C-alpha cells in the first residue's frame, strides 16, 4: 500500500502544480485586459481633450473627462492590487528591499 500512497501523493502534487499554472496564466490574461482597457480609456481621453483644444468638444466634455479619469483610476487600482497579490503568494517574485 505504501507505493500506491506515494503515487497518489505525487499525482495530487502534479494536479496542484497544474492548478497554480492555470491560475497564474489567468491572472496574466486579466492583467493584460486591464492594461488594454486603460490604454483604450487614455485614447478616448486624448480624443476629448483634443476636441476641447480645437474647439469641437461636446457640451458634456468635462463630465466625460471626469468619468474617464475615474475609470482609469479604478482600473489602475485593480491592476496594482492584482500585482501586489501576485508578489505575496509564493515567493516567486524578487523580494523588495527593506526600508
> For residue range 68-96, what is the model confidence (pLDDT) as tens digits?
999 999 999 999 987 777 665 544 444 44
Q: Tell me the pLDDT of the chain averaged across its residues.
A: 85
Beta-strand ranges (E) seen in the chain are none
0.85 surpassed by pTM: no
* pLDDT of 40 above 80: yes
Amino acid at each position: 500500500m505504501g507505493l500506491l500512497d506515494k503515487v497518489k501523493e505525487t499525482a495530487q502534487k502534479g494536479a496542484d502544480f497544474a492548478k497554480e499554472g492555470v491560475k497564474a496564466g489567468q491572472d496574466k490574461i486579466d492583467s493584460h485586459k486591464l492594461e488594454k482597457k486603460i490604454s483604450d480609456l487614455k485614447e478616448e481621453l486624448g480624443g476629448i481633450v483634443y476636441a476641447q483644444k480645437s474647439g469641437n468638444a461636446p457640451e458634456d466634455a468635462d463630465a466625460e473627462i471626469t468619468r474617464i479619469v475615474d475609470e482609469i483610476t479604478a482600473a489602475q487600482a485593480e491592476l496594482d492590487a492584482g500585482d501586489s497579490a501576485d508578489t505575496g503568494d509564493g515567493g516567486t517574485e524578487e523580494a523588495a528591499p527593506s526600508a
